[in-house]
Amino acid sequence: MDRSEIDAALAGRLVAAQFPRWADLPVRPFVHNGWDNSTFRLGDDLTVRLPNGPWYAQGVAKEQRWLPVLAPQLPLPIPTPVAQGAPGCGYPYAWSIYRWLEGEPARREAVRDLNDLAVALAGFLVALAGVDPADGPEPGEHNFFRGGPLSTYDAETREALVALGSAVPQRAASAVWEDALAATWTEAPVWFHGDVAFGNLLVQDGRLAAVIDFGTSGVGDPACDVAIAWTVLRGSSRSAFRSARGVDAATWSRGRGWALWKALITLARDEGHDPGVAVEARRVLVEVLADHAAEVRPTG
């Protein structure tokens, strides 16, 4: 289904047809929509979340099942499912209604202290990883294999390197990738978020207030959540996050690999199309390479 067809009018029709008790509530577009889902505000206290494609729709039942289990064990609010909708009105996927969460998506200019955010986020991820993983969703199509081995993305990463050619430092990038592949996960699976990014962190008064969008969550290797150390954090906030999260050397290497993979495929796909996206991907690439270089540089 074309994303342009997923609008407030469609959301209103779905609500009226399947949940008539809310049919009179106004439906308004949400300013900060993501790529995976289109979100609309329903009245003052609810949101309607419509997946934009079949892969993203696989997360609906997972969130409905697990968010109520996770929420009481976490130090920050997460989305509360209120109802699950079915395909209808020409819309082909399952969808959800959630409680409204106060806050705005994090932006650098909206964050009072990046170090404080890094520590608060690390504490959230520690608590999430401490939840009993029994029967939790293993890596698969529902979350694009987040939490699985990085080797899942090996071919894609190497193809991106070939496509980019001399536009990126080939030897340095390959060294980071090989290091990440070698740092295999050997521990028991734990809960992870899967898409820790500015858009999925809500802030109030400059402080982290909630974490949203658990569509790529699951149980497995938490290194995918460490990628935020390069995609969002920098300098002292990166160090504060690593310390507060207690990230060991191997998980740090894999997290760096996740950040490298995303930067490379973004550049390979978007170079020349969206300058802002390309600039940010190059910034991440530079920071990933510098972090690895500092780690392997001889001392003394």
User: What is the 8-class DSSP label of residue 205?
Assistant: T
Q: C-alpha angle 142/39/52, rounded to 5°?
A: 45
Residue 297 has pLDDT above 90, yes or no: no
Residues 93 and 54 in one domain: yes
Residues 154 and 278 occupy one common structural domain: yes
pLDDT, tens only, 55-82: 999 999 999 999 999 999 999 999 999 9
Same structural domain, 191 and 150: yes
pTM given for the model = 0.95
Average pLDDT for 86-95: 97
Average pLDDT over residues 81-91: 98
Q: What digits encode the pLDDT tens for the residues 112-128? A: 999 999 999 999 999 99
Q: Are residues 212 and 280 in the same domain?
A: yes
CATH code: domain of residue 129: 3.90.1200.10
Cβ atoms of 219 and 137 closer than 8 Å: yes
pLDDT of residue 170: 98
CATH number of the domain that 21 lies in? Answer: 3.30.200.20
- pLDDT at position 27, please? 98
Report yes or no: 99 and 79 within 8 Å, Cβ to Cβ: yes
pLDDT of res. 270: 72
pLDDT at 246 (0 to 100)? 98
Is 160 found in the same domain as 285?
A: yes
DSSP β-ladder status, 46-51 and 81-85: unpaired
Last residue of a domain, one of 78, 101, 124: 101
The more confidently predicted of residues 134 and 275 is 134
Tell me how far CA of residue 80 lies from CA of 83, 90, 224, in angstroms.
9, 26, 24
- pLDDT of amino acid 34: 74
Last residue of a domain, one of 67, 101, 135: 101
Buried b (16+ CB within 10 A) or exposed e, 159-184: ebbeebeeebeeeebeebbebbbebe
Predicted confidence at residue 272, as pLDDT, reads: 54
With both helix axes pointing from N to C terminus, report the angle between 249-270 and 170-182 in degrees, rounded to the nearest 10. 140
**Number of domain units in the chain:** 2
- Please identify, among 64, 80, 101, the residue that sits at the C-terminal boundary of a domain: 101
Structural domain range at position 12? 3-101
Q: Same domain, yes or no, for 63 and 147? A: no
Is residue 86 located within the same domain as residue 226?
Answer: no
- 141-181 pLDDT, tens digit per residue, is 999 999 999 999 999 999 999 999 999 999 999 999 999 99
Same domain, 9 and 145: no
Q: Specify whether 96 is located in the same domain as 110.
A: no
Same-domain check for residues 96 and 19: yes
Query: Measured between alpha carbons, how far is 81 from 97 in angstroms, rounded to an integer?
Result: 6
Same-domain pairing of 82 and 8: yes
pLDDT at 298: 60
Q: What's the confidence (pLDDT) of residue 271?
A: 55
Shared domain check, 43 and 160? no
**Confidence class of residue 28 from pLDDT cuts 50, 70 and 90?**
very high
How many angstroms separate the CA atoms of 291 and 288, rounded?
5
User: What is d(CA 215, CA 56) in angstroms, rounded to the nearest whole number?
Assistant: 7
- pLDDT value at residue 140: 95
